[in-house]
Amino acid sequence: MSETRDRLLARLEAEARQLRRNIWRALRAGGGGHAGGSSSAADILTVLYFHRMRIRPAEPEWPERDRFVLSKGHANAALGAVLAQAGFIDDAILDRFYGFESPFGMHPDIKVAGVEMCTGALGHGLAVAMGMALGARIQKQDFHTFVMLGDAELHEGSNWEAAMAAAHFGLANLTAIVDFNKIGQSGRLDELIGVEPLADKWRAFGWAVREIDGHDLGEVVDALATPLDPQRPTALIAHTVKGKGVSFAEDTYVWHSNSVNDEVYARALGELGEPERSKP
């Protein structure tokens, strides 16, 4: 019997809390890092890895797996944490964030199990994900490709080359999720280069678009359930809060990337709360 919706959401909420704890754990191990964008992405990653994606953590190269590309690669603390939590990589790797010769650096490395591409130089992931979606079509495979983009990342013009082409090919097996936390490295997007009207831009490029609350697990579950349109790629504009979950890190460019010492870590974990024990 399938999981009831209440139980699903409760399970995802517990995973999301644990994910945020793991993100801050990694940040402390590294002495700091991209807390803001990792935290804004955490709920979406939770739904992808613990509910939506067809994956086999013990078999990371499984050809039929769904793909996830973290185009906003600076949120690698979140990707590493979710891969560890899902069982792709050893949990102890989280304590080696930024470590010498660590597989877990500031940005994703394809050599790590579960990581699909070396990203972090911005404006690359959508094209690569589109290549994966095209590869599935050419080889008549039914896996789905998800790619997460930063909002400030959309300043890179290469995204729009890929957006135009993915719509041209009608790649319904491709879903782009924009982590729209409204803040870049130097300040608010509307004070840097504004990206609004963002949903209209994607619509104009030929994508099926839905705006969601990227922290409402139920909304994320529903939006990711199926492609929005059988003939077009899906763009989910996920409204999020940079640094979500830890009050002093929320909604400020200061926490795009910042130092994390033991004291900051303790305060963050205090706000995130204890992980829930598994219930009977």
Residue ranges binding other proteins (CB under 8 A): 63, 67, 110, 116-119, 121, 123-124, 126-136, 138-139, 141, 157-158, 161-162, 164-165
- Looking up tokens 């080889």 gives 139
Burial class (CB in 10 A: 0-12, 13-18, 19+), 102: middle
User: Which of 24/205 has CB closer to other proteins?
Assistant: 205
User: Which of 30/73 has CB closer to other proteins?
Assistant: 73
Categorise residue 102: left if φ over 0, alpha if ψ from -120 to 50, beta otherwise.
beta
Give 25's contacts (C-beta < 8 A, 6+ positions apart). 81, 94, 95, 265
User: Which of 20/232 has CB closer to other proteins?
Assistant: 232
Alpha carbon 279 to chain centroid distance?
Answer: 27
Q: How far is the CB of 229 from other proteins (least distance, A)?
A: 21
Q: How far is the CB of 165 from other proteins (least distance, A)?
A: 6
User: Which of 157/280 has CB closer to other proteins?
Assistant: 157
Q: How far is the CB of 128 from other proteins (least distance, A)?
A: 4
Q: How far apart are the first and last CA of the chain?
A: 16
Pairing of strands 258-259, 32-33: antiparallel
Q: How far is the CB of 169 from other proteins (least distance, A)?
A: 8
Q: How far is the CB of 155 from other proteins (least distance, A)?
A: 14
Q: How far is the CB of 132 from other proteins (least distance, A)?
A: 4
Report DSSP letters for 132-144, one per residue. Answer: HHHHHHHTT----
Alpha helices, DSSP H only, in 169-279? 198-204, 217-225, 262-272
Residue 266 corresponds to which amino acid?
A
Q: Compute the distance between CA of residue 18 and CA of residue 195 in angstroms, rounded to an integer.
A: 32
Q: How far is the CB of 158 from other proteins (least distance, A)?
A: 4
User: Which of 134/221 has CB closer to other proteins?
Assistant: 134
User: Which of 27/127 has CB closer to other proteins?
Assistant: 127
User: Which of 39/173 has CB closer to other proteins?
Assistant: 173
Q: What angle do CA 207, 165, 136 make, to 5 degrees?
A: 90
Q: How far is the CB of 161 from other proteins (least distance, A)?
A: 4
Cis peptide bond N-terminal to 197, omega within 30: yes
User: Which of 63/230 has CB closer to other proteins?
Assistant: 63
Give 20's contacts (C-beta < 8 A, 6+ positions apart). 39, 42, 245, 246, 272
